[in-house]
Amino acid sequence: MATKRNFPLTTPGLAYEKNSLYFEGISLEKLAQTHPTPFYVYGQSTLMANFQEFLGEAQMAGLQNPLVCFALKSNPNKELLKLLANEGSGADIVSGGELKRALEAGIPGERIVFSGVGKIEPEIELALLKGVYSFNVESIEELELINTVAKRLNKTARICFRLNPIVKAKTHKFIATGNKTHKFGLIQGDIKKAIKTPKFWTHSKLVGLSVHIGSQLMDLKATGKAVKILGELGRSLPETPEFLDVGGGLGVAYSPDEIKKRPEISTYMQLVARGLEESFYAHYKQRPKTRVVFEPGRRIVANAGVFVMKVLRQKVSDDQRFTIVDGGMNDMMRPAVYGAHHEIVPVKKPASSKKVDTHVVGPICESTDCFAQRQLPPFKSGDLVVLSDAGAYGYSMGSNYNLRGRPLELLVEGDKGIRVVNKAQPYEDLL
């Protein structure tokens, strides 16, 4: 049994056993002997626990008939999606590719919401044919196009307006989405005008409203505001909406000191329940059957995955030390794009507590290809290191930049052990 957590670990599946790091009971040293680094490993047990907690807390908070639509952009691995589908998860998608992937994984159209500002005609057509739960519409021209495509196919499109509530979410500016300077959603005035324009509704029906103000939210003030604005707009609609979709965005702890700051799922659910009660449900004589939809990604999958890399070599330039690893920003972009922090944990626990200041860098020809500059043990060639909490926006944001391959994705399936769940283009096959 892997037990002790005496190196700062934020990923719950990680633990040292006899000074060697295990992930959900699997030795990472052994795993790296049989699988080429770098690779992602996901843990079924953490993934399932996160999903069940999310859904369970929504129910506990009294939220009506909740539908949790996992945001595929955070991690579209088909085997992970199958597991979520079996738990009753829906999907939040932003492209035809994600639509196909969700369907292949067994998520039915009636549990799929389709967000995104740039939907194109073939995607809209496919979504109509597959009967998606809603098009989360982000512009008037999009609404018009969906209605036109629905008319051609003799279908009725289920429309949800994504509201831009004009709030300031406290997060990295690249992942805030709920203000008018952002391309996302429609402001209230435009939604009200569109509802009153009959030509948009010949083959479309308004069924809901959604809001999503940003990602990695640790402070829920703006979320509370947005939920209330959503509820107020919801009760002003000509017909009671079938659902109100409060989006995703709940933050995770990427470092030990963030663990205390991270909002509990129960706190978040109570905030949503209270906000919708006050702004929406309480205003009807007879309580409407309006259900609540969620679009979480990161909170479900971030800490269910790690990225394992091997140290290639060290380089010391004057007073600067570089630890060069075999994973790069093409495999895991978050540090390069957002300056995001991930814990870097040695697989073999160092015998001494000595640390050195080092830049942990990948092989990509960009200076931003740097996972961290911090005090770490003095690694040497061949050492394995783990980038923690890498399950969300890791593989999914990856690319073949510098004509590198793509890392393997592995899944720990409890007692069944380990399985390769994606071998798209391993580095070794390119050489």
Contacts with ligand PLP by CB under 6 A lie at 71, 73-74, 92, 115, 212, 215, 247-250, 295-299, 392
Length of the chain: 431
DSSP letter (8 states) at residue 424: S
Whether the Cβ atoms of residue 38 and residue 309 lie closer than 8 Å to each other: yes
Tell me the CA distances in angstroms from 361 to 365, 376, 389, one per residue in order: 10, 13, 18
Residue type, position 430, single letter: L
CB-based contact 23:13 (threshold 8 Å): yes
Q: How far is the CB of 307 from ligand PLP (least distance, A)?
A: 17
> Cα(419)–Cα(410) distance, rounded to whole angstroms?
6
User: Measured from the CB atom, is 115 or 323 closer to ligand PLP?
Assistant: 115
Closest approach of Cβ 350 to ligand PLP, in Å?
33
Nearest CB to ligand PLP, comparing residues 139 and 215: 215
Distance CA 207, CA 114 (A): 13
3-state DSSP helix/strand/coil % of the chain, to nearest 5: 35, 25, 40
In the residue annotation, 69 being an active-site residue is answered as no
Catalytic entry in 69, 160, 365, 370: 365
Q: Is 82 helix (H, G, I), strand (E, B) or coil?
A: helix
Secondary structure (3-state) at 116: coil
Cβ distance to ligand PLP smaller for residue 9 or 392: 392
Are the CB atoms for 7 and 19 separated by under 8 Å?
Answer: no
217 and 258 Cβ atoms separated by less than 8 Å: no
Min. distance of Cβ 247 from ligand PLP in angstroms?
Answer: 5
Q: Which value, to the nearest 10 degrees, does the dihedral of the CA atoms of residues 24, 25, 28, 32 take?
A: -100
List b or e across 156-188, with b for residues whose CB sees 16 or more CB atoms inside 10 angstroms: bbbbbbbbbbbbebebeeebbbbbeebebbbeb
Closest Cα to residue 327, out of 255, 394, 389, 396? 394
Q: Residue 109 or residue 247: which is nearer to ligand PLP going by CB?
A: 247
The residue (of 164 and 290) whose beta carbon lies closer to ligand PLP is: 164
Choice between 94 and 370, CB closer to ligand PLP = 94
**CB 304 to ligand PLP: min, Å:** 13
Find out whether 11 and 21 touch, Cβ atoms under 8 Å.
no
Minimum CB distance to ligand PLP, residue 418 (Å): 26
Residue identified by tokens 């595929």 is 72
Cα 373 to Cα 71, 199, 322, 361, 362, distances in angstroms: 31, 56, 9, 9, 12
Shortest distance (Å) from residue 214 CB to ligand PLP: 7
Q: How far is the CB of 178 from ligand PLP (least distance, A)?
A: 10
User: Of 113 and 370, which has the nearer Cβ to ligand PLP?
Assistant: 113
Nearer to ligand PLP, 265 or 309 (CB): 265
The nearest distance, CB 252 to ligand PLP, in angstroms, is: 9
Angle CA 329–409–72, to nearest 5: 80
State the catalytic residues: 365
